Amino acid sequence: MSTVLLHDAIATLTQGGLVAFPTETVYGLGADARNDRAVAEIFARKGRPQFNPLIVHFPTVEMAKAEVAWNTKAERLAAAFWPGPLTLVLPRAAQSRISLLVSAGLPTLAVRVPAHPLAHELLLRAHMPVAAPSANRSGRVSPTLASHVQEEFGDAVPVLDGGACTVGLESTVVGFEKGGAVILRPGSITLVMIERVLNTPVGYIKEGADISAPGMLLSHYAPSIPVRMNASEAKTGEALLGFGAVNGATLNLSERGDMVEAAANLFAFLRGLDDGKYSGIAVSPIANEGLGIAINDRLKRASMR
């Protein structure tokens, strides 16, 4: 596998190249967010539609703030959850040097300060905003191990290996409408956690709502075989991806029914079962509350085709 050392990863970013790097959520495919050519290369490598904007990663809250029009709700959320698995979508600052390609024609920028120590070190030492979508080809399951990135891109993309991502689901994406916070993509920072910090009700973006939340492309995160949710057992040919005390599971997201463990295992297990041995993946029911909302969101997208 083409893993690289930190100082080589920094040199590659500085020269306008692409580097895959670990975050606490999933591996990202990073490039200098100020460099049009480098950003265009991300879209090309992923086969990503040009209308789907990228998240920009920063080593510090101050550096993130400088690129957007900040507000008091963002301030509270950043104080509570950064560094961490939360992305804030805010109007682009007039003086921002982030490539316009990053935001795909939208007047907003998605910014995040990741918590993974290696990501932090990379961002701090490269001292630049790094645009990074998940390091998978467009529409496929996000990588939570360096070897997954290799499966996606072969040796073409150098990978900084930081081990298994602890969260395992992409960051919660929050936007602001008429002063209120709206969840554009559920993640491990839950609606309840956000409401508690803002001390006000928060909603989810409406299903199929137009593309201020383009990330909500309906089919996404999909293995090559059908995924069937809320299954009590596997049909002939299917693998059973269990959750909790389930008999006959091919793999179990968490035998003790722990959501955090299930989230961390989800993408690796979907990948593992998509190996040509099975005709489909049947998944046990997972309660739609707390972290279960984000898990079910990803499963629902994986099950649409």
List interacting residues with ligand TXA (CB under 6 A).
23, 25-26, 28, 52-55, 87, 89, 103, 106, 108-110, 112, 132-134, 170-171, 173, 184-185, 212-215
Give which of Mg ion, ligand TXA, none residue 53 binds (C-beta under 5 to 8 Å, depending on kind): ligand TXA
Q: Give the residue carrying structure tokens 């920094």.
A: 10
103 binds, among Mg ion, ligand TXA, none (CB under 5 to 8 A by kind): ligand TXA
Min dist CB 133 to Mg ion, Å, is 5
Determine, following the binding rule CB under 5 A, whether residue 254 of this chain makes contact with Mg ion.
no
Q: Which does 160 bind (CB under 5 to 8 A by kind): ligand TXA, Mg ion, none?
A: none
Q: Which of 133, 87, 138 is nearest to 114 (CA)?
A: 87
Task: Provide the minimum distance between the beta carbon of 290 and Mg ion in the complex, in angstroms, as a whole number.
Answer: 22
Tokens describing residue 70: 């900040």
When asked if residue 23 is in the footprint of Mg ion (CB under 5 A), the reply is no
Measured from the CB atom, is 87 or 166 closer to ligand TXA? 87
Q: Please list the alpha-helical segments (H only) found in the chain.
A: 6-14, 36-46, 61-65, 72-81, 117-126, 146-153, 191-198, 259-273, 291-303
Query: Does 134 sit near Mg ion (CB under 5 A)?
Result: yes
Q: Which residue is nearest to Mg ion (CB)?
A: 134
Residue 94: Cβ within 10 Å count: 6
Binding region for Mg ion (CB under 5 A) out of 46-54, 66-74, 79-87, 127-135: 127-135
Query: Judging by beta carbons within 10 Å of its beta carbon (0-12, 13-18, 19+), is residue 6 exposed, middle or buried?
Result: middle
Q: How far is the CB of 144 from Mg ion (least distance, A)?
A: 12
Is residue 144 at the binding interface for Mg ion, with CB under 5 A as the rule? Answer: no
* Rounded distance between C-alpha atoms, residue 206 and residue 131, angstroms: 26
CB 114, min distance to ligand TXA, A: 6
Q: How far is the CB of 171 from ligand TXA (least distance, A)?
A: 3
**Between residue 205 and residue 244, which ones bind Mg ion under the rule CB under 5 A?**
none
Burial 54-80, CB ≥16 within 10 A → b, else e = bbbbbbebebbbbbbbbeebbeebbee
Nearer Cβ to ligand TXA (63/132)? 132
Which span (9-17, 71-79, 126-134, 171-179) binds Mg ion, by CB under 5 A? 126-134
- The site partner of 132 among Mg ion, ligand TXA, none (C-beta below 5 to 8 Å per kind) is ligand TXA
Q: Are 301 and 269 within 8 A, CB to CB? A: no
Binding footprint of Mg ion on the chain (CB under 5 A): 134
